[in-house]
Structure 1
Amino acid sequence: MQPSTSPIALCFGASGAIGRFLLPRLRAGGWRVMAVSRQPGRVSDARLLWLCTDLAGATIATKGIGAVISVGPLDAFVEWLERSPLAPGVRVVAMSSMSAVSKSASADGAERALSARLLEYENRLMRRCDAAGLAWTILRPTLIYGAGIDRSLTPLVRFARRTRLFPWLWGATGLRQPVHADDLAAACAAALAAPQAAGQRLETGGGEVLPFATLLDRVRRSCGVATIPVPVPLAALQTAAVLSGRGRGIVQRLRQDLTADNQAAGQLLGFVPRPFLPDPGCWSPLPELAGPHPVEVDSATKTP
């Protein structure tokens, strides 16, 4: 059990891909952890208090909080932050996305709206923190993998395992830079101890920039089962997107480079992400961690 004098880290999105790696890192760093998510985690650690709540209506007592980390939806977190009192000097680390810039010129109106919304909430977070004297850092990851719950690569692997067929997107030429969720968790933990990273928006991509074909080849090799590659021409996807009115932005980006510049994160956080060498375990859900008594939160709760 962490001493009662240990600082408290409030972690939002704790049951998500990054949160599952972040919680052990926080506890190892000496933090007492209050983990927040809409679904309770599994009971496994007496040093962790798990708060089950929807941020839209919850008010969480913030006395004794030394750091706040959000690795869940940025908009809900910022709206909570705007109405919650935090002591000056509290460290705030929030996960955004490279989609804030990469989807700004998408052919899909919904994706352009997503980009604008991410930028809006990044700016709101900055204004709120600056006004309250909070030290903020925003991280912008690329394609996240590693916890088996992402909506990009893991569904592809599950389809291949089920059918023994691996869709090969023929004609996709864009570069990709997948980043492991644990490397992002390490970046969050490092930001808490890096005053030089305060007031920064940092791009956090993976350790390799890969042609799309190489990405697909490594994913296919990591499925854990033998699969047959089935070419799917990009022209066919483009036609389907035009006829259905959906997915034009996705098809457009298959020919675009979606990468990040890790130089600033490397200098300020010591961020050195791993190369993209997935194994079959990357595509299986990692169990959540939780405290012995998950607490349902309606309107308020007290810190431990």
Structure 2
Amino acid sequence: MKVLVIGASGQIGRFLLPRLDAEGIEYLALSRNAVSGDPRWLRGELPGAMPELPPLRAVISLGPLDHLAPWLSATRLVGTPHLIATSSMSAETKRDSDVPAERELSRRLRDAETTLIATCASRGMPWTLFRPTLIYGAGEDKSLTPIVQAALRRRIFPLPAGRGERQPVHADDIAAAVVAALISPFARGRTFPIGGGERMSAAEMFRRARLSAGGTTLPLPIPRMALQLAARALPALRGAVQRLDSDLIADNSELERVLDVHPRPFRPDSATWRPAN
């Protein structure tokens, strides 16, 4: 039976599909932007625009968890396919944020996780969840890539002071973990945090991003006091400024022990910040 990959055209799917091919695992790739002319691709969208599905070995979801949960609850799949889905470390790191919208995001993620686990348990479906930290590598993330691209356009790269630890994880390492979970029976019934292969300060992460950008930019250090003043004047910045001094990291010990997946250190180059298409 085949594996269904939901969100196959996104930043993790870009790396996952070649890995499935390499393992000889047949798949159906589902996306709003399905590749025309390839019978392996299906056009669809969670939760309400899904096509009819055949019996499946597994359902891999790389999209929003709070869209997956209601769809799975309302859909009777044939058999008991293994559900593998990506959540986010924001489920924990934003739980106590000063910003209401961030607390709401954390709540939605945790509620979706709980709903998915309960649905799988009621149907005898095995499940595996991943909680990645900040994702990079495909030039499609909403965190570092927009900063790098804006800096290249303006020739000025902001370098905010930040003492909190960061652990950015490459999208391909998440893809490797998904394949490992699909193959290993020991991944079932587990939630794996997944971060990159090294930790660094937020300031160091921005410094490396600038050095890898592939163009000439003027570094613009932003001291802590300036950040604090900006957060007071612009409430929308409050959460981002607060997180600069918070640790946004993951414990990879279970990932490494159970799945033998060892994410790479943060060594971006200019291609890191360019989308494939």
TM-score w.r.t. the length of structure 1 is 0.87
Q: Distance in 1 between matches of 2:84 and 2:189?
A: 10
* Structure with larger RCO (C-alpha < 8 A, sep 6+): 1
Q: 1:29 is matched with which residue?
A: 23
Pair 42,156 (structure 1): closer, same or farther in 2 beyond 3 Å? farther
Q: Distance in 2 between matches of 1:271 and 1:39?
A: 30
Aligned ranges 1:125-274 → 2 under 5 Å: 125-170=116-161, 172-274=162-264
| Shift, 1:154, TM fit | 0.5
Deviations 1:205-246 (A, max 9, x none): 000011122212211110111221112223323322322321
Q: Distance in 2 between matches of 1:128 and 1:262?
A: 27
Structure 1's unaligned 5+ residue stretches are: 1-6, 288-304
Q: Distance in 2 between matches of 1:40 and 1:239?
A: 45
Pair 103,23 (structure 1): closer, same or farther in 2 beyond 3 Å? same
- Supply the AA of the counterpart residue of 2:15: F
Greater share of residues in helix: 2
- Supply the AA of the counterpart residue of 2:116: L
SS at match of 1:62: coil
- Supply the AA of the counterpart residue of 1:99: S
Q: Does residue 122 of the first structure (1) align with residue 116 of the second (2)? A: no
Pair 101,56 (structure 1): closer, same or farther in 2 beyond 3 Å? same
Q: 1:106 is matched with which residue?
A: 97
TM-score w.r.t. the length of structure 2 is 0.95
Displaced runs of 4 or more, over 4 A: none
Q: Distance in 2 between matches of 1:152 and 1:91?
A: 30
- Supply the AA of the counterpart residue of 1:57: G
- Equivalent pair of 1:12/1:72 in contact (CA under 8 Å): yes
- Equivalent pair of 1:88/1:133 in contact (CA under 8 Å): no
- Answer with 126-135 or 81-90: which moved more: 81-90
Q: Does residue 66 of the first structure (1) align with residue 60 of the second (2)? A: no
Q: Distance in 2 between matches of 1:267 and 1:202?
A: 11
SS at match of 1:247: helix
Deviations 1:79-124 (A, max 9, x none): 2111222244411100000000000010101000100110000000
| Shift, 1:22, TM fit | 0.6
| Shift, 1:42, TM fit | 6.8
Deviations 1:249-298 (A, max 9, x none): 111110011100000011111110001000101001124xxxxxxxxxxx
Q: 2:43 is matched with which residue?
A: 52
Q: Does residue 76 of the first structure (1) align with residue 77 of the second (2)? A: no
Q: Distance in 2 between matches of 1:83 and 1:26?
A: 28
Q: 1:278 is matched with which residue?
A: 268
SS at match of 1:246: helix
- Equivalent pair of 2:44/2:50 in contact (CA under 8 Å): no
- Equivalent pair of 1:206/1:276 in contact (CA under 8 Å): yes
- Supply the AA of the counterpart residue of 1:206: G
Deviations 1:39-72 (A, max 9, x none): 23476xx5x5222222232343333211110111
Size of the aligned set, in residue pairs, is: 277
Pair 42,257 (structure 1): closer, same or farther in 2 beyond 3 Å? farther
Q: Which of 9, 13, 19 lines up with 1:19 in the alignment?
A: 13
Q: CA RMSD in A?
A: 1.5
Structure 2's unaligned 5+ residue stretches are: none
Q: Distance in 1 between matches of 2:163 and 2:177?
A: 29
- Equivalent pair of 1:59/1:84 in contact (CA under 8 Å): no
SS at match of 2:40: strand
Q: Distance in 2 between matches of 1:77 and 1:59?
A: 11
Q: Distance in 2 between matches of 1:52 and 1:237?
A: 44
Q: Distance in 1 between matches of 2:165 and 2:247?
A: 4
